[in-house]
């Protein structure tokens, strides 16, 4: 199964990918730098996507809007999601879980390799 990483920071995308690879996760990774591109990727590959990792603050379409759009499309509504955001505001965290019931976790940046491994290991098993 493929993993989608949506984050507008190329540095963050690289760090997350490095952490995944270091944890032995060798799944194909699709990258997006905004929510709109991420939604297009998820729709085009819906049958092959096992997990979406998404930032919240992104241009064009935010992470919350992106995962809300995923929830509205029956083809993408059941894909597990992990939010990785620097926005630790309780309201934003609540919103993520409200707009998509497949949000399995919300990690606040900076994320450690062990946090990521723990969350993702459980999701990909």
Residues that bind Mg ion (CB under 5 A): 8, 55, 57
Query: What whole-number distance in Å separates Cα of residue 2 and Cα of residue 91?
Result: 30
- Provide the minimum distance between the beta carbon of 57 and Mg ion in the complex, in angstroms, as a whole number: 4
CB closer to Mg ion, 63 vs 105? 63
- Provide the minimum distance between the beta carbon of 56 and Mg ion in the complex, in angstroms, as a whole number: 7
Query: What whole-number distance in Å separates Cα of residue 69 and Cα of residue 119?
Result: 23
Query: What whole-number distance in Å separates Cα of residue 122 and Cα of residue 104?
Result: 10
- Provide the minimum distance between the beta carbon of 58 and Mg ion in the complex, in angstroms, as a whole number: 5
Position of minimal CB gap to Mg ion:
57
Query: What whole-number distance in Å separates Cα of residue 39 and Cα of residue 19?
Result: 23
CB closer to Mg ion, 77 vs 91? 91
């Amino acid at each position: 199964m493929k993993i989608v990483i949506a984050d507008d920071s190329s540095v963050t995308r690289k760090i997350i990918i490095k952490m995944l690879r270091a944890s032995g996760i060798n799944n194909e990774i699709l990258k997006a730098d905004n929510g709109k591109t991420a939604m297009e990727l998820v729709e085009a590959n819906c049958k092959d996507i096992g997990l979406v990792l998404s930032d919240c603050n992104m241009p064009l379409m935010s992470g919350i809007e992106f995962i809300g759009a995923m929830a509205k499309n029956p083809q993408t509504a059941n894909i597990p999601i992990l939010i990785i955001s620097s926005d630790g505001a309780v309201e934003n965290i609540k919103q993520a879980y409200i707009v998509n019931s497949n949000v399995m976790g919300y990690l606040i940046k900076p994320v450690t390799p062990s946090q990521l491994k723990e969350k993702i290991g459980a999701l990909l098993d």
